[in-house]
């Protein structure tokens, strides 16, 4: 059975699908009354109070006035489907997914004698659609809150409503969970659009760079054909070699970007010697006016599992970027230390032991606007001839693939800090 609320087009701002799973048909009638256009606060409350007194031998409660919430509910559009047991509820969820018209939320009874109980039904539904919001509605204490957390996990997609309930409680829950579901889908859409925009920008930059390289090669090849002097030929050949080298560098950067997420060169070992080696290699080609200050950890038993070859490339990129930001004068500080994650970092990295590898410069810094785009492929603040704009993208994807994260900060009073967080273990004694 299905009940649909038909609202005027200007009022039906959002439409949501609701699934009610309950073995009591009177509850289904009450849900229709509360959540569809026919909703009237006093009548709905009177009906549920009467039903509650019959089912649970409780005294009817006085009817409150909820004019504001009534107006909010009348601006919502709910399509309500009903089923008397969890098995049929799961079938409806599967069908909704197949039709690409998923349910926003499900209101599920806790105790249903003719089939699965409420918790089992929720588990089965979340296996099919983990985004559906749930109101667990029961008159019994078959499950404590601790039991439900153990069975379903700690989640903000589940609310508990005890029978008999005030219609306003149900309305508020439906309103909050429906908006939460909508905002979550909107965030996914925005993220997808951002990825598409980044892909378009990357394709534009790539096409521009390759076009410049190939045009230069073609132009100089034509000059060689027509040139009569050996010097002119030699200049054009050198230009072709230079452009070809730029093309190879761009291609290698693209390959590194595509390979970062899946590397077959994983190894577990200390990284302090790797950092020392990398700094010594770079010092030979860096101006003497730049001081690289290396601060290794106090303990030498820190081991990291990752592609150590790619880690060395990332460290090189970060140090070279720091050098370029300072116009070949100043101090670059490279530091490796055990770190404690803050609450925000824990939310996407999880608990565990992490080291922080930071590269700090004393350059001109990065604007807040540029920080938001700094890890986007082909984004660069350097002149086009001084970089591909892929180094930081590669570094960011490397950190993600290694189970870590890359962040950028202001280095007070001047400059920038790039910090890589990586999980680590200690060498057994």
Q: Rounded distance, CA 358 to CA 337, Å? A: 9
Place of tokens 């280095």: 411
The enclosing H or E element of 334 equals strand 330-339
Kindly report the length of the chain. Answer: 429
Distances in Å between the Cα of 375 and the Cα atoms of 195, 222, 390, 396 are: 12, 39, 8, 7
Window from 23-27, 37-41, 79-83, 172-176 with minimum mean pLDDT: 37-41
With respect to CATH, is domain 263-429 assigned 3.30.565.10? Answer: yes
Determine the average pLDDT of the residues in 6-13: 36
Across 183-190, average pLDDT: 82
Q: By CB neighbour count within 10 A (0-12 exposed, 13-18 middle, 19+ buried), where does 339 fall? A: middle
The Cα–Cα gap between 135 and 122 comes to 10
- What pTM does this model have? 0.49
Handedness of CA 28, 34, 40, 41 (dihedral sign): positive
CATH 3.40.50.2300 matches 2-190: yes
Mean pLDDT on 155-168: 90
Region 403-407: mean pLDDT is 90
In the chain, % of residues over pLDDT 90: 25
Could you give the CA distance from residue 294 to residue 188 in angstroms, rounded to a whole number? 41
Q: Is the pLDDT of residue 259 over 60?
A: no
| Cα Rg of the chain, angstroms | 31
Q: What is the pLDDT of residue 23?
A: 92
Q: How far is CA 378 from the centre of its chain?
A: 21
Q: Tell me, yes or no, if the two domains 2-190 and 263-429 fold the same way.
A: no
Strands 416-423 and 14-21: unpaired
Instruction: For residue range 282-329, list pLDDT tens digits in order.
Output: 887 788 889 999 998 877 778 898 888 889 889 988 998 899 888 778
CA–CA dist 319, 357 (Å, integer): 12
The pLDDT assigned to 216 comes to 73
> Does the pLDDT of residue 387 top 70, yes or no?
no
- Dihedral sign computed on CA atoms, order 340, 270, 280, 377: negative
Question: Residues 36-66: pLDDT tens digits?
Answer: 754 455 555 555 455 555 544 455 555 444 4
| Residue 346 reports pLDDT greater than 70 | yes
Q: What are the boundaries of each domain within the chain?
A: 2-190, 263-429
Q: Report pLDDT for 293.
A: 94
Helices (H), 260-416: 272-283, 308-325, 343-349, 368-371, 391-401
Q: What is the reported pLDDT for 123?
A: 94
Torsion (CA) 322, 327, 330, 331 in degrees, nearest 10: 10
Two tokens, residue 195: 């990825």
More confident position, 43 or 429: 43
Distance CA 355, CA 195 (A): 29
The region of weakest confidence among 86-100, 186-200, 280-294, 323-337 is 186-200
Q: What integer is the mean pLDDT of 248-255?
A: 64
Mean pLDDT across 362-366? 89
pLDDT digits (tens, 9 = 90+) for 95-134: 998 887 899 999 999 999 888 999 999 999 999 999 999 9
Q: Which residues pair with 159 in a beta bridge?
A: 135
Please give the full DSSP string across 187-228, using - where no structure is assigned: HHHHHHHHHHHHHHHHHHHHHHHHHHHHHHHHHHHHHHHH--
pLDDT at 1: 45
Query: What's the pLDDT score for residue 37?
Result: 53
Q: Is the pLDDT of residue 12 over 50?
A: no
Q: Determine the 3-state secondary structure of 266 from DSSP.
A: strand
The pair of structure tokens assigned to 340 is: 């404690």
Question: Per-residue pLDDT tens for 264-286?
Answer: 568 888 889 999 988 988 887 78
Q: Is the pLDDT of residue 10 over 50?
A: no
3-state secondary structure of 337: strand
Please provide the average confidence, as pLDDT, over all residues in the chain.
78
């Amino acid at each position: 059975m299905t009940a649909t609320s038909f609202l005027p087009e200007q009022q039906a701002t959002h439409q949501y699908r609701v699934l009610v799973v309950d073995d009591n048909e009177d509850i289904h009638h009450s849900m229709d009354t509360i959540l569809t256009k026919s909703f009237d606060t006093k009548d709905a409350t009177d009906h549920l109070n009467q039903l509650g007194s019959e089912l649970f031998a409780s005294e009817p409660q006085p009817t409150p006035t909820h004019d504001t919430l009534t107006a909010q509910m009348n601006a919502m559009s709910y399509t309500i489907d009903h089923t008397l047991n969890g098995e049929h509820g799961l079938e409806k969820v599967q069908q909704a997914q197949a039709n690409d018209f998923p349910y926003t939320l499900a209101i599920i009874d806790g105790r249903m004698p003719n089939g699965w109980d409420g918790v089992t039904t929720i588990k089965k539904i979340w296996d099919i659609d983990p985004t559906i919001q749930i109101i667990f509605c029961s008159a019994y204490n078959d499950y404590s809150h601790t039991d439900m957390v153990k069975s379903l996990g700690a989640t903000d997609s589940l609310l508990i409503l005890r029978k008999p309930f005030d219609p306003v409680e149900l309305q508020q829950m439906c309103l909050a969970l429906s908006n939460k579901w909508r905002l979550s889908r909107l965030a996914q859409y925005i993220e997808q659009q951002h990825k598409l925009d980044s892909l378009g920008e990357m394709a534009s930059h790539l096409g521009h760079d390759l076009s410049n390289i190939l045009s230069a090669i073609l132009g100089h090849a034509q000059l060689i054909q027509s040139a009569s002097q050996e010097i002119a030929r030699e200049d054009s050949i050198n230009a072709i070699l230079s452009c070809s080298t730029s093309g190879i560098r761009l291609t290698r950067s693209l390959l590194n970007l595509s390979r970062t997420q899946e590397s077959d060169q994983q190894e577990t070992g200390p990284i302090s010697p790797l950092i020392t080696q990398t700094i010594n290699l770079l010092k030979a080609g860096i101006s003497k006016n730049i001081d690289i200050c290396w601060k290794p950890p106090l303990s030498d038993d820190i081991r990291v599992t990752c592609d150590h070859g790619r880690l060395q490339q990332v460290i090189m990129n970060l140090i070279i970027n720091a050098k370029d930001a300072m116009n070949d004068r100043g101090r670059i500080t490279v530091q490796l230390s055990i770190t404690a994650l803050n609450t925000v970092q824990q939310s996407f990295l999880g608990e565990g032991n992490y080291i922080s590898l930071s590269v700090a410069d004393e350059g001109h810094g990065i604007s807040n606007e540029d920080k938001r785009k700094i890890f986007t492929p082909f984004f660069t603040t350097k002149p086009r001839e001084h970089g591909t704009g892929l180094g930081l993208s590669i570094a960011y994807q490397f950190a993600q693939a290694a189970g870590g994260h890359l962040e950028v900060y202001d280095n007070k009073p001047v400059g920038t800090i790039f910090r890589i967080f990586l999980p680590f273990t200690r060498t057994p004694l």
